[in-house]
Amino acid sequence: MITLSHEKYHKIITGNCTTLNHFLHMVHLFYYEQRVTNMHNVLWIDSITNFFTNYWNSFDWESILSNVFTKLLSLILLFLVFYFGKKFLHFLFKKTILSSVKVVRQSENRQKTIVKLLENMLDYFLYFILIYWILSIIGVPISSLLAGAGIAGVALGLGAQGFLSDVINGLFILLERQFEVGDAVLINNISGTIASVGVRTTQVRGYDGTLHYIPNRNITVVSNQSRGNMRALIELPLNSNVDLKSVYSVIEEINNQYTRTDEALTAPPKIVGPQTKPNGQFVFTIALMTKNGLQHATYQRYLTLYQEALLKQGIDLSSPVIPYSTN
């Protein structure tokens, strides 16, 4: 059996107590650090919460909501006034301006052109007033915008060059009466009738129903097919060995039967006779002079009449291509 002296026993007990005290001290420090960290986190969260709370409370939400509601109500009333005001002004326009234009000695197409253009200008003016009042209600300083217009004038001027060119060219088209609403025209390889003449664009309704919008600045060459009488040139493809006397007889019979009472024609038909086209096709040509705007319908009508009559007489309308000669 091992026996310890009193001194050794005292050292062991003292050492163990020191270790225990050190351990308890470490536990205390750890617990203290945790409390400090938790308190720091709480203070950080409280500071952020207080910041957003103070920021939120800094706004006068009652005043802001009241202001937004007032402006929203004002905008709704403005749009209602604009809608009904525009309807009323267009009604007043038709009752006054339209009747005044009719008093002036102008053609019906000319009257339609002037009315369309004036209506277009009225719409531009009304929308300008609408934008002005919207900006005023929202609170945009109009005076500052106008003052800053000088600074942005160069940039806007560069962007508005096309618009100004459209307007100026549109005015020249109107003054020079190059075309009017209802005229049959050919513009930039687009054939059709003029549907509308605006400040910026001209609308052409193609013969297939397509509506073409042409900027006025792009209108350089206008072929107006509604000024004066027009010619409908009918070319009947024939076989080169056909009996031309029979063809002349059939064509003259149709002309005597239909053309004398046809109000679309302005002169008796001119039988040009057999011709060879540059591609070598052999045709029999008839020229019909018609009132402007009626050339297409007249062409279709008499082409059908001539073809049916020739086929009825057994005349071959097939046309083999033969060499073209300049002799």
The domain limits of the chain are 60-225, 230-312
Q: Looking at 6-15, 43-52, 290-299, which range is the least confident one?
A: 6-15
For the domain spanning 230-312, the CATH number is: 3.30.70.100
The mean pLDDT of 226-246, rounded to a whole number, is 84
Residue 324 confidence (pLDDT) above 50? no
Residue 320 confidence (pLDDT) above 60? no
**pTM score, two decimals?**
0.45
Three-state SS annotation for the chain: CCCCCHHHHHHHHHHHHHHHHHHHHHHHHHHHHHHHHHHHHHHHHHHHHHHHHHHHHCCCHHHHHHHHHHHHHHHHHHHHHHHHHHHHHHHHHHHHHHHHHHHCCCCHHHHHHHHHHHHHHHHHHHHHHHHHHHHHHHCCCHHHHHHHHHHHHHHHHHHHHHHHHHHHHHHHHHHHCCCCCCCEEEECCEEEEEEEECCCEEEEEECCCCEEEEEHHHCCCEEECCCCCEEEEEEEECCCCCCHHHHHHHHHHHHHHHHHHCCCECCCCEEEEEEECCCCCEEEEEEEEECCCCHHHHHHHHHHHHHHHHHHCCCCCCCCCCCCCCC
Q: Looking at 26-35, 118-127, 243-252, 257-266, which range is the least confident one?
A: 26-35
Residue 212 confidence (pLDDT) above 90? yes
